[in-house]
Structure 1
Amino acid sequence: MHHKAIKAEIRKQLKTRYPHWQRLTKKEKKAIAKKVLDEVVNNYDLKQEVT
């Protein structure tokens, strides 16, 4: 279930930091999504219990 928690965290960050997501180009979206994914994975505690 770690992947679901990570995906939820990414969605939250994208909605709060980039409210005009639809207006961005595909290239910009890919770069932003990669940056956010790297941030979340680095900060996520993978040692917590999987439920």
Structure 2
Amino acid sequence: MPQMMPLNWMTLYFLFILIFYIFNNLNYFSFNYTIKNKSFKIKNFLYNWKW
């Protein structure tokens, strides 16, 4: 029945969007950024202005 073909395309479209959404969420939330705890000095520059 060709009248029912758009329903098949719609289900494939929604299935693709769902898989795409899940795939992107898994990639986004499974990424672990390791923060490197380096002890660095904050340089304080003292300017003696002579007016």
Please indicate the TM-score interval, normalised by the length of the shorter structure.
0.3 to 0.5
User: Which structure carries more relative contact order (alpha carbon 8 Å, separation 6+)?
Assistant: 1
TM-score normalized with structure 1 length: 0.38
TM-score (norm 2): 0.38
Q: Which has the higher helix share?
A: 1
